[in-house]
Amino acid sequence: MLSGVLRAGSGRVWFGVIGWLLSIASSEAAVELPSYAQGADIKQSLNSKGREVTELVMFAGGVVAIICILVGSLYLKAGNREKAKSFIWGGVGGLLLDTMVYAIAQLVVK
């Protein structure tokens, strides 16, 4: 079976198969670009998208940190000082971390 493939006339068949595969591969490569890549100012568009994502993530982190502080104050009111300290310090640390990450992200995005 392998000797039939290696015959002199089968080279044209393999070139035909390879040419057909290359034509399929080249037709698959013609894709439409996303909307942000259509314009000439791609860098500005990506920077604005990055700012939006950064602000959303920082907002969510800040909300979670404030909720932790509020939960800690409820534990403190209930008399569970250890759990209250844990939540309050976690919330304060989360706010500090959130602020630092926001500042660094603003430097990078600009």
Average confidence score pLDDT of the chain: 75
Domain containing 70: what range?
Answer: 36-109
Q: Based on the domain organization, do 43 and 81 belong to the same domain?
A: yes
Residue 93 · residue 64 · CB < 8 Å: no
Q: Based on the domain organization, do 26 and 41 belong to the same domain?
A: no
Q: Is the pLDDT of residue 12 over 80?
A: no
Q: Based on the domain organization, do 93 and 43 belong to the same domain?
A: yes
Q: Based on the domain organization, do 56 and 26 belong to the same domain?
A: no
Q: Based on the domain organization, do 92 and 62 belong to the same domain?
A: yes
Q: Based on the domain organization, do 82 and 102 belong to the same domain?
A: yes
Residue 88 · residue 72 · CB < 8 Å: yes
Q: Based on the domain organization, do 66 and 87 belong to the same domain?
A: yes
Please state the domain count of the chain.
2
| Greater pLDDT, 66 or 6 | 66
What average pLDDT does this structure show over 17-40? 58
Overall pTM surpassing 0.75 (yes/no)? no
